[in-house]
Amino acid sequence: MRPVRTAARALLASIFVVDGIRTLNQPETRADAVRPLTDRVTPLLERTDPRLPTDPLTLVRVKAAADVVAGLALATGRFTRPAAAVLAAGLIPHTLTEKGDRDNLLRNLGLLGGLLLAAVDTEGRPSLHYRTSHAIDRSQRTMRRAVRTARREAKIAAASAVAARRLPG
């Protein structure tokens, strides 16, 4: 399963790396397309943190750089779950600003589905939540067993003490 998983991640990431590099080389074309969305989001960004960039060209460059870095991380198998989550989060505004036909929308939805699968893929290993909940269950069972053993030993010790008092001498 590992070679299939590796190939699938590389194929999924390739479109984001190529598109991110293309956008970094010519950000102006994409900046014009995202301007309506950035005009609506700019007041929110300025209220959140005035240091955040609000210029469409800068935002396009930041998203393109994030796509390249996250795409390379996904393709190389490093930080795959966070990388897939970053790419999925960036795909949503990209889909909203893209002026395309139904085919582009379906392509982006397919990519989003693949990214969501990659974001939750634990590569056959138990997730952190599973491991912690089972560790807690094991420790609780061990504690209950220790308490039962201590009670049993205390009963035996009490019975031994009563028996010892009855002995002469």
Domains of the chain by residue range: 2-120, 126-169
Report percent pLDDT > 90 for the chain. 61
Confidence band of 129 (pLDDT split at 50, 70, 90): confident
Residue 169 has pLDDT above 70, yes or no: no
Chain centre distance of CA 146: 38
Pull the structure tokens for residue 145. 């067993």
Q: Which residue has the tokens 């991380």?
A: 73
Mean pLDDT of 37-48: 87
Q: What is the mean pLDDT of residues 60-71?
A: 96
Q: Is residue 70 within 8 Å of 83, Cβ to Cβ?
A: yes
Percent of the chain with pLDDT over 70: 99
90-110 residue pLDDT tens: 999 888 887 778 888 899 999
Both tokens assigned to 107: 């392509």
If one counts every other C-beta atom within 10 angstroms of the C-beta of residue 124, the result is 8
pLDDT at position 48, please?
Answer: 87
Q: What mean pLDDT, rounded, does the chain reach?
A: 91
**Cα–Cα distance, 64 to 123 (Å, whole number):** 27
- Is the pLDDT at 131 greater than 60? The verdict is yes
pLDDT at residue 75, as a whole number: 96
Q: Note the pLDDT of residue 116.
A: 93
Q: What is the reported pTM?
A: 0.71
Q: Tokens for 137?
A: 């269950």
For residue 146, the model assigns a pLDDT of 96
CB-CB contact of 64 with 33 (8 Å): no
Mean pLDDT of 152-158: 96
Residue 25 has pLDDT above 90, yes or no: yes
Map tokens 């009963």 to a residue: 155
